[in-house]
A and B are shown apart, each in its own frame.
Chain A
Amino acid sequence: MNNYMTIRFKSLPENETLARSCIASFILPMNPTLSELADVKTSVSEAVTNCVIHGYEGKEGTIELTAIIEDDMLTLKISDEGKGIPDIEQAKEPLYTSKPELERSGMGFTIMESFMDSISIISSPSCGTTIIMTKRMAAAPQVSQCACQ
Chain B
Amino acid sequence: MDYKIQSMENILLISVKGELDDHAAKAVREKADSALCKKELKHLIFDFSELALMDSAGIGLIMGRYRLIRPRQGKTAIICKNDSVRKILKMSGLFKLFKCYSDFQEAYDYLTKESKEVTI
List A residues at the B interface (Cβ < 8 Å): 13-14, 16-17, 20, 34-35, 38-39, 41-42, 45-46, 49, 52-53, 102-108, 110-111, 114
Contacts and interface: CB of A to CB of B under 8 A. Distances in A.
Which among B29, B53, B83 has the highest number of chain A CB atoms within 10 Å?
A: B53
20 contacts: A13-B22, A14-B23, A16-B21, A16-B22, A17-B21, A35-B83, A39-B84, A45-B21, A45-B53, A46-B56, A49-B22, A52-B22, A53-B22, A102-B60, A103-B29, A103-B60, A103-B63, A105-B57, A105-B59, A105-B60
Contact of A49 (B29, B55, B63, B92): B55
* Interface residues of chain A: helix, strand, loop or mixed (majority): helix
Contacts of B41: none
B61 to A, nearest CB: 7
Interface in B10-52: 19, 21-23, 25-26, 29, 52
Interface in B59-73: 59-61, 63-64
Given A42-B84, A103-B64, A110 B91 contact: yes
Contact of B55 (A34, A42, A106, A114): A42
B60 A104 contact: yes
Contact of B23 (A13, A35, A39): A13
A53 B22 CA distance: 9
Given A103-B61, A103-B64, A104-B56, A111 B88 contact: yes
Contact of A35 (B22, B84, B91, B92): B84
Contacts of B25: 103
Contact of A107 (B23, B59, B61, B84): B59
A42 B22 CA distance: 12
A110 B53 CA distance: 17
Given A103-B64, A114-B91, A20 B53 contact: yes
